[in-house]
Structure 1
Amino acid sequence: MIDQFVGKVMSQSVRTVPPETTARDVATLFADHDIGSAVVVDPETGEFSGIITESDVMQQVAAGADIDSVRVAAFLSTPIITIDRTENIHAAAALMKEHSIRRLPVTDDGDLVGILTTTDLTHYLPRLRNTILRKRNDLAKQ
């Protein structure tokens, strides 16, 4: 098995928002930056309180919430599941499957350093396949 670490596959540009951010503001952030989530961080403590996703915002819209006044603190996904950047991507994929999530904030000594998404893993798979094939061919030549 070829080990690859989360830190090599993750996206380093993870967005954060404070809990008082409105649903409209977070939706605008998503549209402006072509992203699907943001980690909710308390600006005073720096602690993660959850994650907000496109699905969370869409549920608010579907429920008829006033997106100009409802704050992300009222509907963020908790508890937040994170993974350390030194963990193997296989462990990350298992964690994502176990918790039925598509986005996994990545930490280093407790600090937020990136996010791993199912898209990141999907884009990495062809490279992993090529690496496996190359190693197999190298072994066959020996």
Structure 2
Amino acid sequence: MTTAHTVMRSDVEHITVRDTMETAAQRMRQLDIGALPICDSDGCPVGIVTDRDIIVKVVGVGANPRTTTAGEMAQGADQLHTVEASADIDEALAMMEQYQIRRLPVTEDGLLVGIITEADLARHLPEATVGEFVEAVCAQHLPTASDA
């Protein structure tokens, strides 16, 4: 059985609820990533912030990234979906497809221990499975010929 632990990246970086969006943007730039889980003081994930969130939900509405905290972003977010490290990868895939999410935090006893991204799926799963995931989660956001 392939588990979430087998597929996840265990070197996941995160920010705390007290970090600012400026800090989040700087970390993303340094790490060359597009999203960071947000954890509370105990290390439990409470949200995810993406580079797009910073632009659209902070800068785009005139808020100050130097004073807007990750905790504020997490409070306005939809329910965060996570998966236990011991869960079967099919369960993780089903959750990602159902909720249309591209990044899934992995937990053990509620604590963040990893993250599953599209790239992780592509590295560990058969091409057909990855294709189905892309079709279910990503393809609906791509422009069609009639959009041109």
TM-score (norm 2): 0.75
Unpaired segments of 5 or more residues in structure 2? 130-148
In structure 1, what is the Cα distance between the partners aligned to 2:128 and 2:103? 20
Q: Partner residue of 1:125?
A: 125
Equivalent pair of 1:51/1:78 in contact (CA under 8 Å) = no
Which structure has the larger Rg?
Answer: 1
Distance in 2 (alpha carbons) for counterparts of 1:91 and 1:47? 21
Identical counterparts, % of pairs:
32
Tell me which moved more, 73-82 or 17-26: 73-82
For 1:100, the equivalent position in structure 2 comes to 100
Matched, 1:53 2:54: no
CA RMSD between the two structures? 2.1
> In structure 1, what is the Cα distance between the partners aligned to 2:45 and 2:97?
21
Q: In 1, are the aligned partners of 2:49 and 2:70 still within 8 Å (CA)?
A: yes
Q: Across the two proteins, how many residue pairs are aligned to each other? A: 126
8 Å contact from structure 1 (residues 40, 50) kept in 2: yes
- Bigger shift: residues 81-90 or 71-80: 71-80
Aligned to 1:140: none
Tell me which amino acid in the other structure corresponds to 2:5: G
Q: 1:121 Cα deviation (Å)?
A: 0.6
Distance 2:43 2:114 in 1: 15
Amino acid at match of 1:113: V
